[in-house]
Structure 1
Amino acid sequence: MVAATGVGAGDLVATLVAGQKFGYALLWVVVLGCLLKIILVEGAGRFSLATQKTIFQGWRSLGLWTSIYFGPYIVVWGFVYGATAMLSTALPLASLFPQVPLPVFAIASGLIGFVLVWFNRYSGFEKITAVLVGVMFLTVVGAAVLTLPNLLDVLSGLVPRVPEGSIVNVLSVAGGVGGTITLAAYGYWLREKGWHTPKFMKVMRIDNAMAYVVTGVFVVAMLIVGAELLYSAGLAIDSGDRGLLSLADVLSERYGVVYGKVFLIGFWAASFSSILGVWNGVSLMFADFIGHSRGLEPGHPDTRVGGKWFKVYLLWLTFPPIILVFVGEPVPVILAYGVLGAFFMPFLAITLLWLLNSRHTPQPWRNQLLGNVGLGLVALFFVVLAVQQLQSAISDVTG
């Protein structure tokens, strides 16, 4: 679930561009990004298992200010992300079937995701996602294998260095590996899986580490493709998710039309698995938020998969964003999305530091020195990244 949701088209393009521009010089950043997310998600999972509370219950215990931030954020985020995810999923389909208009595929993707999540319990939903991850693995890793990378060149990228002009790419790759708001959904998936007490702590840590090993494999594969196929040939690709369409064209020219089409299927799997993960995981977070706001007891049926508030957010993710599919993204909404979104990762890291070092977490499961150093560095990194994202969001909107 973590790998499927955390690796979307945007993450693949960010890493592909890094490989295209700097070869293997930023491979160490991919490893760093995975380590950052392992530390962060382990903290979220540890809090959930140790306290048997959701992350939102933890945030509420820190004061009303957490709800004042999180409420507007999850509403604005869902509206913009819904359209973005639908369009990203539609791009490879429209390339495979150019006679069908892009908005038709976008809306169909959202509706299919809606139906699959609405009518599936967690176990069925997890199986569907596993198939999509398998398709991603075969196509994305297959593209890297096709390029026959030089192992010594790849290993040289593990030596930390920051080439001139690469700082934005460093931040985008390290910060983008493995998701944003979906990191906080991990504790909810643990609960739905049936892992809800401290006795599952060991398996949670193994699960979390393996999730980011798989994520790392995907992202390293795209860096290899960027380095071997684009950097060495001096080729450039389109920005945004369309970069994967450009890559499919390059793969078709180099290795045949069939593989280009196969890669487009992998692009679709990466995007559609993100739809399913977000439609499920973030709907659970919203349901928990509303449940607490209305005084419902923890774990109330209205706040679980298939519950009333879960379905309300699922509707919000699917239908209002269709407006953006047709009319584009209004400037004020995008600015709010960028500003609120930039603060989410620092918000998660800092609140976890607070929760895991206080009475909110049982003594045996609180942070030790090494945990505090790791999570502190993660928080510092995401504060720096937030400043960069804010500057980028404001400059994009103001022209």
Structure 2
Amino acid sequence: MSSGTTPITGAEVPTKSRVSEPPRTWAGKIRMIGPGIVLAMASVGAGDMVTTLNSSSQFGLGLIWVFVVGLILKYGLTEAIARLQLTGSRTFLSHLTDLGGRFLPAVFLGIVLLVGFFYGSGLTAITTLTMQALIPGLPYWPTFVVIVASAVVLIGIGRYNIVESSMLVFGVLMFFGMIWIAVASAKVDGASQAAVETIAPTLPAGSFITVLSLIGGVGGAVGIIAYAYWIREKGWNGPQWKPVVRIDTISSYIFIGVFAVAMTVVGTFLLHTTKTSIGGSDAIIPLADSLVPLAGDIGRLAYLLCLIAIVYSSILGGFSAIGYLISDAVRVLRRIDDSEADRSMAPSSLPYRLTLVYVLICSLVASTLGEPVALVIVYATVSAFVLPILSIALLFLLNRRTVPTTLRNGWRSNTILGACLALFGFLAIVQVLESFGVTL
């Protein structure tokens, strides 16, 4: 059967399951957590740090509720796309052919190619600058090349387990490091007063669009889609894996939530109290020096190591996601059968490795020649429609009678996906208007 016609059933056998049956105990299910941590680390980057720090520099702790709402919505999308993957052997892009043939997979291919062009350069630059702050005297360009090339090689080895294990190490470093830094920042003068004054949830006048953008900015769109491919790599297939997937996705967004709250605390105590803000992604590096009076040189070291873990893991997760999506899009457009999907989009496959070469070259080109303004505008406009399209697709695909009852959408999932469609659809319209110079 072609990729567009394979039926959904609940009994299809995964082609490369490492564990034939899910664990029955809570402890066993928790030990299975992995793809969710990959998603969390891929979703959190330097841009998220800047956004969170700047919002807290203006509003203190009052916008924590915004991140909570955003995490609930993104969890709903992630859990839904995971259930779709559990319905059988078809991939997400293969399912999209049910909504209009190969048009949507072609659209996603174009979008992900644009993502691949821009993705690596900025993150690698931040990682390089952080390494220079950590080890003075490091040359910029050789360090830049080593960082981006090491990410490509690590993923190109062809084993998902290596990526997941690396992410778990970075995740532990980030989790405990950011909590410790948040606690250390509470020693700044005026911290208690700032916390008391801003702790109440707020919606500042004239900030409606800003707040909606903050809600939509929690977690990455490409990572959410790639999550289906990461659980496929684990061999999780069938309704019996639903409890494990839910624990995994919940852990992912708890992880992101801890990061968001910790960064909000840091922004409130270090920036809000001094009425300062951060100008760009590279400005988060000097923030390490602000921790020296509060936690000594160990505080500065901890911050820089956390920053490296956050940004480098974003490179790893992003490159992994881009590799799966591009190679699978090529497979679907070439009408290669779903039974060949695992082989066609494996990290060791030719399309995947060519994708890694593509992101490596683009990272170097974009960093040396700069990012074309017209292409940036096209990318921002087109990519804004990813989450609305994803919401519509999941509403349609997971409400069909062919979906096993335990994996079909319930009213809660439909409500969350409907809210996602409304929010992200509105933000997409705002992005289009802004691309044409119209500001709401």
Normalised TM-score (structure 1)? 0.92
**Which residue in the other structure is 2:154 paired with?**
116
Q: Is the 8 A contact 2:194 2:269 kept in 1?
A: no
Secondary structure of the corresponding residue to residue 277 of structure 2: coil
Corresponding residue for 1:257?
297
Ranges in structure 2 where 5+ consecutive residues have no aligned partner: 1-37
RMSD (CA atoms): 2.4
After superposition, the C-alpha distances for 1:125-175 in whole angstroms (9 at most, x for unaligned) are 21111111111113222211112365994897463x311243354233321
Residues 1:284 and 2:363 aligned together: no
Report the counterpart of residue 178 of structure 2 in structure 1.
Answer: 140
- How does the TM-score come out when normalised to structure 2? 0.84
Task: Give the equivalent residue in structure 2 for 1:19.
Answer: 56
Contact 1:28–1:157 under 8 Å retained in 2: no
Secondary structure of the residue that 1:242 maps to in structure 2? Answer: helix
Asked whether 1:83 is paired with 2:125, we answer no
Q: CA deviation at 1:352?
A: 1.1
Residue among 53, 58, 80 paired with 1:43:
80
Correspondence list, 1:226-241, <5 A: 226-239=267-280, 241=281
Whole-Å Cα distance in 2 between the matches of residues 393 and 258 of structure 1? 44
The answer for unaligned runs of 5 or more in structure 1 is none
Q: 1:15 & 1:215 partners in 2: Cα distance?
A: 12
Structure 2 residue matching 1:25: 3-state secondary structure: helix
One-letter amino acid of the counterpart of residue 207, structure 1:
D
Q: Distance in 2 between matches of 1:125 and 1:273?
A: 9
Residue 197 of structure 1, aligned match among 238, 260, 269 = 238
Which amino acid is the alignment partner of residue 122 of structure 1? Y
**1:361 CA displacement:** 3.0
| Superposed displacement of residue 249, structure 1 | 2.6
- How far off is 1:363 after superposition? 4.2
Identity of counterpart residues, as a percentage? 31
Match of 1:56 among 93, 114, 139: 93
Whether 2:255 is the aligned partner of 1:218: answer: no
| TM-fit CA distance, 1:394 | 5.3
**Which letter maps to 2:145?**
I
1:137 and 1:294, CA in 2 relative to 1: closer, same or farther beyond 3 A? Answer: same
Give CA deviations for 1:297-332 in whole Å, capped at 9, x if unaligned: 222412122111111111111123311111111112
Query: Does the 8 Å contact 1:18/1:169 carry over to 2?
Result: no
**Quick one: distance in 2 between partners of 1:321 and 1:255?**
35
Q: Secondary structure at the match of 1:23?
A: helix
Task: Tell me, in whole angstroms, the C-alpha distance in 1 between the residues paired with 2:437 and 2:145.
Answer: 30
Instruction: Measure the CA separation in 1 of the matches of 2:192 and 2:428.
Output: 35
Q: Alpha-carbon deviation of 1:204?
A: 0.3
Structure with greater Cα Rg:
2
Q: Give the count of matched residue pairs.
A: 395
Residue 27 of structure 1 contacts residue 223 of structure 1 at CA under 8 Å; is this kept in 2?
yes
Is the aligned partner of 1:338 residue 2:366? no
2:166 counterpart residue number: 128
- What is residue 100 of structure 1 aligned with on the other side? 138
Matches within 5 A, 1:352-367: 352-359=394-401, 361-367=403-409
Equivalent position of 1:321 in the other structure: 363
Distance 1:16 1:168 in 2: 18
Question: Which residue number corresponds to residue 272 of structure 1?
Answer: 312
Amino acid aligned to 2:287 = L
| Corresponding residue for residue 44 of structure 2 | 7
